[in-house]
Amino acid sequence: MDAQLKRGVLDVCVLAALKNEDSYGYKIIKDVRPVLSLSESTLYTILKRLEDAKMISVWTKEFEGRLRKYYHITSKGIRRLEEFKEEWKELNSIYLYIVRGSRYE
C-alpha cells in the first residue's frame, strides 16, 4: 500500500486496536498487521505521539518478570475516532472526484 496513504490511517488504526480493551505494543502490532503493515519503530513512534496528544494513557504492569506498558484509549482518543468517521465522508467525495475525473466523463 502506498506509504502516503497509510499516514492518515495509521494513528487511527492504533486507536481502533485499543477501542475494546487495553493492550501493549507487541500485541497491537500483531492485531493491526493483518489490516495494515507497520514496523515496530513506527508503532512506538505512534504510541509516543498519541500519548503526547493525550489520546491514550499508559500504565505499567509486571508480566513474567518483564515490564509491560499497557495503553488505554482516553475520551480524547474516542473523539478522534469519531472525527475520523467524518473525515471518511470527505474522503469519499474526493474519491468520487478522482474516479470520475475533473468533470463530466
Partner DNA sequence: CGCTATACATCATATCACGAGGTATATATA
Partner DNA sequence: TATATATACCTCGTGATATGATGTATAGCG
CA distances from 26 to 5, 23, 52, 60 (A): 24, 9, 20, 14
**Residue 20 touches which member of DNA, its own copies, none, C-beta under 5-8 Å by kind:** its own copies
Between 66 and 103, name the residue whose CB sits nearer to its own copies.
103
Query: Which residue in the block uniquely carries the three cell numbers 505512534?
Result: 46
Kindly list the residues in this chain that would bind DNA in the complex (CB under 7 A): 3-4, 6-7, 10-11, 24-27, 37-42, 44-49, 63-69
Spatial distance between the Cα atoms of 21 and 61, rounded to a whole number of angstroms: 15
Q: Which is nearest to 14 in space by CA: 83, 88, 71?
A: 71
> Which residues of the chain form contacts with its own copies (CB under 8 A)?
1-2, 4-13, 15-21, 31, 35-36, 81, 83-85, 87-88, 90-91, 93-95, 97-99, 101-103, 105
